[in-house]
Every structure is written in C-alpha cells, then in structure tokens.
Amino acid sequence: MSIRKNDFILSIYLISGRFALFLLKNSMNKKEVANYVVERLEELFPETPVPLDHTNAFTLLIAVLLSAQCTDERVNKVTPALFKLADSAKKMIKLSVPEIEAIVKPCGLAPRKAKAIYDLSHILMNEHGGEVPASFEDLEKLPGVGHKTASVVMAQAFGVPAFPVDTHIHRICQQWGLTNGKNVDQTEKDCKRLFPMNLWNKLHLQIIFYGRKYCTARQCNGLQCEICQTCFPDRKREKKYKKA
C-alpha cells in the first residue's frame, strides 16, 4: 500500500491485544476547526470594542438599523449629528421623518430607515416607556428591526448571549467549513452548536474583525487566509460559498 505524503498518517496502536487502526487526516473536522478558530482569534483580537459608536441601548439600536447595507465607518460619521438632536425615543419623536431622513441620507435607504426610526421611537414611547426592550420578541416587532439587529442589541447593549450573523460572517464560516447553510439563519444555528455560549458575543465580533483584516469578500476563496490554510492544508481549489 502506498501512502502519499500529506495524505494521511497511519498510526497503529496495540490495545488489549488488538490492533486499532487510526487514520489521522491533515484537514480538521468541524469541532477541531471551531476550537482552532476560538484560540487563534483570541490571539489576534483579544479586545473587541463595539464598532458602532453609541451611548445607550437606544443609540445602539438606531446605529445598527442604519448600518444595513452601509459601513460602520459611515454610520459613525452620520450618527453624531442625529444623536446630538435625539439620543432617546422621547427626543426622536419630536423630529419629523424628513428631518431624520436629511441627516441619515449618507447611510443609504434613507426614506425607509428614517420612517423606521420615527415609527419605532413612537412604539417605544407608547409600549415600553421610552426604553429599548431587552427581549428578542419585542425587538423584532419594531419597524426595521430583524433578527440580526435584535441579536446585536441583545448582545452588545444587554449582554445576553447571541450570535448575530450577517452576510460576511455567513461567508467566512462557510470557507472555514463550519456550516453548509444556505442562509444566515442556518449558519447562526450551526455556529451556536459549535461554539460555547459564553463565547458568542465576543466571537461574533472577532470574526468580523478577522474578515475585515484578513479575509475580505474580494479575497475570500478558501485558500488564502491563515485559518483556511491551517485548517485545510490539502485544499487545492477555490471554495465557492452560498450567498445568503
């Protein structure tokens, strides 16, 4: 039997008078990859500051809403002017939709986002005493707030374990072989199964930071980044990922 180098290592152990045969593959399985990802990302990004500037749960909620199809950097340039006028639901309802829209225009989708901000502020005043609810169910009932936005707010404002998955995390986790999910919902479920709950909030940010620095959408092909090379040394072809 010929054994190609880098294919596998054949290890034979004598256990209780019997031969046990173990094939140790070069590529890691999902759990091994997950463990390596946790260790390596902690080395690379021990600190995980929240990317969106905010002062309270309300301003975080608004910033996350504005970040849809927009960069965090641009949102952080826009929100100071908005939050100077209104950093609470009570103050936001005093502005008109056109006033909000004029400020948030650089973030894109301004008409829709401005109306959502105005409407959700009224709901917070009428149904939650002006406070952002610490509940997935209540958050996801608010205009413009989906599961990902709710997850970010729950994790970063209230410290509740959550694993927000956007298109970038969805892409990276596919390249790392952690999911075969066709959408962000399945990727979130897979990641929650693989990673300990106490790591979710920080790990979500670490993956984002890694993607921005080492594995951008343009570069991401499953061959170039350090984690892909370490976990899948035998991978020869580009790995296509399923868009969310």
Provide the annotated active-site residues. Answer: 148, 166
Query: What type of residue is 156?
Result: Q
CA of residue 198 relative to chain centroid, distance: 15
Cross-strand pairs, 10: 23
Taking a C-beta distance cutoff of 8 angstroms, is the pair 190, 179 a contact? yes
Strand-pairing partners, residue 164, are none
* Maximum Cα–Cα distance across the chain: 81
Quick one: which of 210, 190, 243 has its CA closest to 42?
A: 210
Taking alpha carbons only, the member of 220, 239, 198, 217 closest to residue 42 is: 198
**Bridge partners, 20 (sequence order):** 13
CA distance 207 to 165: 10
CB 115 within 8 A of CB 97: yes
What token pair was written down for 195?
Answer: 């990673």
